[in-house]
Amino acid sequence: MTGAATDTAASGPVLAADGAPLKRSLRRALRAQKLRALMLIAPLLVFVLVTFIAPIADMLFRSVENQIVSDTLPRTAREIRDYDPDSGEMPSDRVLAAFTYDLVAAAERKQHTRLGSRLNYEYSGISSLFRKTGRRVDDFGESYLDQFVAVDPAWEEPATWVALMADPDWTASYRAWSAARDAAKAAGEPFALAQPLFALRDGVGDVLPETASAYAEFARIVQVEDDDDPAAEEPWAPVYLALYRDLLHIGPGAVARLGPEAEAMLDAAHDAVEDFAPVDLSGLYLKADRDWADPGVWGTIRAFSPAYTPGYFLNAVDLRLTADGIAAQPEDRRIYIMLFERTLFMSLAIMGSCVLLGYPIAYLLSNLPLRTSNLLMILVLLPFWTSLLVRTSAWKVLLQQQGVINDILVWLGIVSNSGRLILINNQTGTIIAMTHILLPFMILPLYSVMKTIPPSYVRAAKSLGATNWTAFWRVYFPQSVPGIGAGCILVFILAIGYYITPELVGGTSGTFISNRIAYHISSSLNWGLAAALGAILLGVVLILYWAYDKLVGIDNVSLG
């Protein structure tokens, strides 16, 4: 019996001290350990997500986001898809009517100028078109207003429109809300109850689709933007344009669904609209500004009506999205490819000059006695304690034609007074100033790696017959390569994103792509193009980083 029990116990699961299976206890302990570790790094993880990952994701999104057009001109975006700019004509009345409803609403919300500025990046002159027409579009359809009022003066009454368009439940709710607000105001009490937003009555959108859409937007803007009662405000003139267009195409008996009072009023208007004097919408736009006849304007609106666009990235590589597809920018606007090439070339030049100047300094510091090297290291670190703006301004003084360097060269007779060197407002000035600024970032990694190289290696090589140069090149230099790699990565990545120093000493030929990014963010406010340029710059850095890893190996980079 004892042997059988022992065999049974041996064949069963191994138990922990609490009687649970050991495997389950180990999994539970490991899970708890991982959770504790995650909680320890959670603050750092959240910080990185908020300050690093989220801004990059937002930048990438802004580089393709184009919702301002579809959000501001929703009806136009749907109707203009079939427009052909190659026809050389303005869009059809259907598109122009949709654009009128959208533009008057945008003008009331003060959004039309912002939209015009966005489209002006793609087609020069659109901004002024939107601004000028936005002041007049609320009169488009005034002729129809007069003709409807001539049929029945009730069409001019705001209450008529509310009775025709509004949901009875909304009307009751709004009246109750308005009464409660007035009572609170009379009593001097705070009132925080949100007002019920205008709602259309059932079926009106099927019978009068354009009118219902235009009037609903009017009513909501009156409520939200103007804080007024739709029943006290006469509709915009374009609402009468919508009513005219709907009644022209309405089917027989369709208005019966809206009730007897609405049926009688709409039947009378329906019978009269056939005799109305039509208004040429294209003529109204041309009267506002002759540039509306340009098919390129409408083609640009059509091309950028989708919510997402490659237009920013195309602009960033000197291309553009046109009504006919992708085309090259005019020659006088092709600057970005040149700026990218210049940025890469000058960043590599700055990196190379930092290697040439920094390597001997780091070698000297690592081989001098500790007290002397510490004193000299203070001089290397001294620029970190001086403002970047002060250092750059000092170089402006040193490098200008009447500056210190030219004066010394003239005094020494190296150059004549009339042949002073042009060292500023060009690439030379940028490379000199940025090499000075970034040199410590090359020296410090080199110094930290060189301090770890045992001097006995070089002495052993010399004892075996190697010359000073052979011992350095074959023994010392290969061990310092990780420091060179670390310094090159630091200097190159810092240089490629600099914009203050190139802006101050670079002039027109020494600026970087980062200067253009800063310009679009702070001055032109073309954040989409700035995001696209930044995304491309990020992609270039990642590609170069990948290439460096393949050629040199990122594992060989060391900070000592």
Q: Name the residue type at position 524.
A: S
**Helix, strand or coil, per DSSP, at residue 65:** strand
Q: Are 418 and 490 in contact (CB under 8 A)?
A: no
CA angle 271, 277, 280 (to 5 degrees): 125
Nearest residue to 378 via CA among 440, 432, 452: 440
Q: Give yes or no: residues 359 and 290 share one domain.
A: no
Q: How confident is the model at residue 260 (pLDDT cuts 50, 70, 90)?
A: confident
Inter-axis angle of helices 336-367 and 527-551, to 10 degrees? 50
Give yes or no: residues 57 and 76 share one domain: no
User: What pLDDT is recorded for position 110?
Assistant: 92
Asked if residues 533 and 516 have their Cβ atoms less than 8 Å apart, the reply is yes
Residue 9 confidence (pLDDT) above 70: no
Residue 145 lies in a domain: no
Count of domains for the chain: 4
On whether both 215 and 296 belong to a single domain, the answer is: no
- State the DSSP string of 302-356: HHT-SSB-SHHHHHHTTEEEETTEEEEPPGGG--HHHHHHHHHHHHHHHHHHHHH
Identify whether 45 is part of a domain. Answer: yes
- Mean pLDDT, all residues of the chain: 87
pLDDT-based confidence at 5, cuts 50/70/90? very low
One DSSP character per residue, 463-491 reads HTT--HHHHIIIIIHHHHHHHHHHHHHHH
The least confident of 27-31, 118-122, 245-249, 290-294 is: 27-31
Give a yes or no: residue 144 inside a domain: no
Confidence of residue 252 (pLDDT cuts 50, 70, 90): low
344 and 264 housed in the same domain: no
Residues 537, 416 within the same domain = yes
Same domain, 540 and 448: yes
Please say whether the dihedral angle defined by the alpha carbons of residues 412, 413, 419 and 421, taken in this order, is positive or negative: negative
Are 366 and 312 contained in the same domain? no
CA 473 – CA 466 distance, rounded (Å): 10
In-domain check, residue 82: yes
H or E, element range at 135: none
Domain that holds residue 13: 2-62
Query: 308 and 258 in one domain?
Result: no
- Residue 277 neighbours by CB under 8 Å, 6+ apart: 143, 147
Of residues 327, 319, 288, the one with CA closest to residue 99: 288
What are phi and psi for residue 117, nearest 5 degrees?
-65, -40
Task: For residue 420, give the CATH number of its domain.
Answer: 1.10.3720.10
Indicate the pTM of the whole model. 0.77
| CA-closest candidate to residue 335, choices 512, 534, 538 | 512
Question: Is there a domain that residue 27 lies in?
Answer: yes
Q: Is residue 480 in a domain?
A: yes
Do 410 and 294 reside in the same domain of the chain?
no
Burial of 336 (0-12, 13-18, 19+ CB in 10 A): buried
- Cα-based distances in Å from 240 to 141, 232, 235: 6, 17, 8
What SS3 class is residue 21?
strand
Reading the block at residue 66, the tokens are 């184009």
Per-residue model confidence (pLDDT) at position 17: 65
- 297 and 229 assigned to the same domain: no
477-490 per-position pLDDT tens digit: 999 988 898 899 88
Residue 10 has pLDDT above 60, yes or no: no
Please state whether 259 falls in left (phi above 0), alpha (psi between -120 and 50) or beta: left
Is residue 143 included in any domain, yes or no? no
What's the length of the chain?
Answer: 560
Q: What is the SS3 assignment for 552? A: coil
pLDDT at 191 over 90: no
Residue 353 lies in a domain: yes
Question: Percent of the chain, pLDDT > 90?
Answer: 38
- Both 444 and 464 in a single domain? yes
Q: What is the pLDDT of residues 307-336, one digit of tens each?
A: 888 989 999 999 888 877 888 888 888 899
Same structural domain for residues 417 and 469?
yes
* DSSP string of 159-172, one letter each residue: HHHHHHHB-HHHHH
For 29-56, b where at least 16 C-beta lie within 10 A, e where not — what string?
eeeeeeeeeeeeeeeeeeeeeeeeeeee
